[in-house]
Structure formats: structure tokens, C-alpha cells
């Protein structure tokens, strides 16, 4: 039995439950955010690829950024699991409730941050790649034939409509990337704080 001071046991038998809850919640929430972002952004890429197939490879960036969120959750979960120590040979627990609360907070911090970032990346990616496809294809649909194609025609200002479409699509793409980068930063902030939290420990040895 661990020493009980003022009616409080520093290393109760239920303390590791909070550590494992932190690890599992981090992995589950981070995977949820990653799947959410991949799902929404993937739908946008598939929809855009119908009318503008040339932009599919260029616009898989939101899917890649959403997939990274699961790696953040995996890193923190592995760190937490390795920090959960088993009882001694005499069945005394050395994993303190302080560690359990800290690891639980770290798991929620990283997991919820990845969940928020995944939703943001998915929605922004979906809208962004669809808008890019419309702008790059000049609003043309895949079922339109070549008749009446105004790509390359002069708009009366000495510029080509096709060139304007490509230039406008590239500007839109840059803006989408900036928004995605700051959305990904939300998960990175949660990862950093979770790593700092996981370094705080107290053992009943």
C-alpha cells in the first residue's frame, strides 16, 4: 500500500486508467479529425476532377494535411502509453494520480486540437478545390463539347480569357494553401502543449 497522507492516496490503483484514457482519447479524436478532413477534402477533389482533371494531383494537399493529424495523435499516444508504469512485484502502484491527470489532459489537448483542425481542413479544402476547378475550367462542364469554346479568345482588353482563368485559379490556390497552413497549425499547437504536459511526472517510489 502507498502512504496515505491527510486522507489522500498519491498512487491509487485507478490512476493508470486516466493515463490509458488520455492515450486512447488522443488517438481516437486525432483519427476522427484526420478522417473527417480526408472525407470532406476528398469529396471536393473528386467533384473538381470531373470538370478539371488536370488539377487533381495539385489539389490533394488538403488530403495530405488531414492525414498528418493522425500522426500527431499517434506520437502523443505512444509517449503516454510508455509513461504508464505497471505495479511493482509487491503489487504497489508507482503511477500517481498526478501522472494520470496530466496524461489525460495531454491526450485531450492533442486529440481535440486535431479534431478541430481536421474539420477546418476538410471544409476549407472542399470549398477551395471546388472553387479552383470552376475557376481553372472557366466554368465549363465535362459534358460540353468543343463548340463555342472561348478559351484563348480576347476579352477586348488585350488579354486572353483562358489566361485570366489560370491566373485567377493560381491566386485562389495560394489563398487556399495559406488558410490550410493556419488550420494545420491548430493541431500543431495542441501537439506542442501535449508534449510539454507529458513531461511532467511524479512517481511514488
The pLDDT of residue 91: 72
The pLDDT of residue 71: 96
- Asked if residues 110 and 73 have their Cβ atoms less than 8 Å apart, the reply is yes
The pLDDT of residue 202: 75
The pLDDT of residue 20: 93
Please write down the HEC assignment for all residues of 36-87. HHHHHHHHHHHHHHHHCHHHCCCCCHHHHHHHHHHHHHHHHHHHHHHHCCCC
Q: Reduced to 3 states, what is the DSSP secondary structure of residue 4?
A: strand
In degrees to the nearest 10, what's the CA dihedral of 166, 167, 170, 172?
-110
The pLDDT of residue 139: 62
Q: What angle do CA 19, 20, 22 make, to 5 degrees?
A: 65
The pLDDT of residue 87: 79
The pLDDT of residue 122: 94
The pLDDT of residue 85: 85
User: Using one digit for the tens of pLDDT, what is the confidence trace for 94-116?
Assistant: 888 888 999 999 999 999 999 99
The pLDDT of residue 103: 93
The pLDDT of residue 8: 55
The pLDDT of residue 72: 96
Residues (pLDDT < 70) of the chain are: 1-10, 139-164, 205
Amino acid at each position: 500500500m502507498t502512504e496515505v497522507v491527510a486522507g489522500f492516496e498519491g498512487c491509487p490503483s485507478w490512476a493508470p486508467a486516466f493515463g490509458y484514457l488520455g492515450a486512447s482519447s488522443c488517438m481516437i479524436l486525432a483519427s476522427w479529425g484526420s478522417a473527417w478532413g480526408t472525407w470532406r477534402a476528398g469529396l471536393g477533389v473528386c467533384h473538381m476532377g470531373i470538370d478539371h482533371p488536370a488539377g487533381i494531383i495539385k489539389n490533394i494537399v488538403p488530403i495530405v494535411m488531414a492525414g498528418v493529424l493522425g500522426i500527431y495523435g499517434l506520437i502523443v499516444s505512444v509517449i503516454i502509453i510508455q509513461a504508464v508504469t505497471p505495479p511493482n512485484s509487491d503489487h504497489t502502484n508507482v503511477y500517481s494520480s498526478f501522472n494520470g491527470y496530466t496524461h489525460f489532459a495531454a491526450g485531450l489537448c492533442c486529440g481535440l486540437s486535431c479534431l478541430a483542425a481536421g474539420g477546418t481542413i476538410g471544409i476549407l479544402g472542399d470549398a477551395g478545390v471546388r472553387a479552383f476547378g470552376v475557376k481553372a475550367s472557366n466554368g465549363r462542364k465535362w459534358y460540353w463539347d468543343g463548340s463555342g469554346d472561348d478559351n484563348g479568345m480576347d476579352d477586348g482588353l488585350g488579354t486572353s480569357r483562358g489566361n485570366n482563368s489560370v491566373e485567377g485559379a493560381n491566386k485562389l490556390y495560394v489563398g487556399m494553401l495559406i488558410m490550410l497552413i493556419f488550420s494545420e497549425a491548430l493541431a500543431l499547437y495542441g501537439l506542442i502543449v501535449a508534449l510539454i504536459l507529458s513531461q511532467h511526472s511524479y512517481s511514488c517510489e
